[in-house]
């Protein structure tokens, strides 16, 4: 049986998945616990601050982003409490989830995951925007977009070179079935891996459907999983595919799959891609130098 340390090097070696997943680094505790803080309650903002402040890395990253062009307040933010008052609960939790995924991906040694992080942010931004006209909570939709491909991170952590090879193959052949390749190499695809992870992390049940069923055919149901299916496809079509290959389906074709109530509010593909590119580059440049929480000045 394979183990986390004896990571898979060939397709024929079966993995003890329960043991391997039990040994993976956990998603940052701050971000996981932030998922359980209910928005809109009187104490929610204070609870969120209390989660962030003891964690120096999170504090540093949140403050860097809060002072970046992403937020664009004229006043410099020097503490998490001050940032929370200016940002409000929804935007603060959005930052917590973005920083959480980035720090989780950075713990993995697989360079192939850079594309995965960008794809997840793109999917989250599209999901947040489209959920607004789809009676799905936009805060939840953003978080679901951030987490939907978390199973890829798990597989890449278990077998970095093996996963990099899969991404490489997908980048040269967009028609190749990555899920099939994952099952061949790891005995499980990233949807199954995502299900195991969110179950192990005891996340709300909705995340199980999102991580494990986001590659199933479109259903036209007005639920969060369908929002993520469409957002993931549109992220690919806009140029934010995990493997960086051109999407087989164009933007117009994917946008036509959205309900009319959503379509009429969507900006052009160029505007949407520019918006996402800007946000990703701001986060990457802000995070690149955030290594500690010495920014917490008061
Ligand atoms: Fe996926
Ligand atoms: Fe995706």
Where exactly are the structural domains of the chain? 27-107+280-298, 110-266
Distance 115 CA to ligand 1 centre (A): 12
Q: What is the pLDDT along the chain (298 residues), one digit of tens a residue?
A: 333 334 454 444 556 666 677 667 777 878 888 877 766 666 788 888 888 888 777 787 888 888 887 776 777 777 888 888 888 888 888 888 888 888 887 766 566 777 888 999 999 999 999 987 777 888 788 889 988 998 998 898 888 889 989 998 988 887 889 999 999 999 999 999 999 888 887 777 888 999 999 999 999 888 899 999 999 999 999 999 988 776 788 999 999 999 888 898 899 999 999 999 998 888 777 665 344 333 333 2
CATH of 110-266, one of 2.40.50.140, 1.10.3210.10, 3.40.50.150, 3.40.1110.10: 1.10.3210.10
Tokens matching residue 97: 């989830």
CA of residue 20 to ligand 2 center, whole Å: 23
Quote the CA–CA distance of 87 and 71 in Å, as a whole number: 8
Neighbours of ion ligand 1 (CB under 5 A): 149
Residues with CB under 5 Å of ion ligand 2 are: 149, 232
* Rounded distance between C-alpha atoms, residue 173 and residue 169, angstroms: 6
> Is the full-model pTM beyond 0.75?
yes
**Can you name the CATH fold of 27-107+280-298?**
Hypothetical protein af1432 (1.10.3210)
Residue 236 CA to ligand 1 center (angstroms) comes to: 11
The pLDDT value recorded for residue 298 is 29
Please indicate whether the domains covering 27-107+280-298 and 110-266 agree at the CATH topology level: yes
CA of 240 to the centre of ligand 2 (A): 9
Asked whether the beta carbons of 60 and 46 are under 8 A apart, the reply is no
Q: Report how far ligand 2's centroid is from the alpha carbon of 41 (Å).
A: 32
194: CA distance to ligand 1 center in Å?
9
What is the predicted pLDDT for the residue at 213?
A: 97
- Predicted pLDDT at 266: 92
Q: Which residues contact 63 (CB under 8 A, 6 or more apart)?
A: 77, 78, 79, 80, 83, 295, 296
String of b and e for 115-138 (b: at least 16 CB within 10 Å)? bbbbbbbbbbbbbbbbbebbebeb
């Amino acid at each position: 049986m394979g183990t986390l340390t004896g990571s898979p090097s060939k397709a024929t070696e079966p993995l003890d998945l329960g043991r391997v997943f039990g040994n993976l680094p956990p998603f940052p505790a701050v971000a996981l616990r932030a998922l359980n803080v209910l928005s809109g309650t009187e104490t929610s903002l204070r609870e969120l601050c209390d989660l962030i402040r003891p964690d120096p890395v999170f504090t540093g990253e949140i403050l860097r982003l809060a002072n970046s062009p992403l937020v664009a307040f004229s006043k410099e933010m020097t503490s998490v409490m001050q940032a929370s008052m200016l940002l409000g609960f929804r935007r603060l939790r959005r930052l917590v989830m973005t920083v959480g995924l980035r720090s989780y991906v950075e713990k993995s040694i697989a360079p192939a995951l850079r594309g995965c992080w960008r794809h997840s942010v793109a999917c989250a931004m599209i999901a947040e925007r489209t959920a607004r006209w789809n009676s799905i909570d936009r805060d939840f939709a953003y978080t679901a977009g951030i987490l939907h491909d978390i199973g890829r991170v798990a597989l890449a952590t278990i077998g970095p070179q093996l996963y990099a090879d899969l991404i490489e193959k997908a980048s040269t052949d967009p028609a190749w079935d990555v899920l099939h390749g994952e099952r061949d190499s790891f005995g499980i695809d990233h949807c199954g891996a995502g299900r195991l992870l969110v179950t192990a992390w005891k996340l709300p049940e909705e995340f199980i459907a999102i991580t494990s069923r986001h590659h199933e055919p479109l259903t036209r149901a007005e639920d969060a999983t369908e929002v993520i299916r469409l957002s993931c496809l549109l992220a690919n079509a806009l140029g934010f595919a995990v493997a960086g290959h051109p999407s087989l389906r164009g933007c117009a074709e994917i946008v036509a799959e959205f309900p009319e109530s959503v379509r009429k509010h969507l900006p052009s593909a160029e505007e949407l891609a520019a918006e996402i590119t800007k946000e990703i580059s701001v986060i990457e440049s802000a995070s690149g130098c955030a290594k500690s929480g010495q920014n917490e000045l008061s």
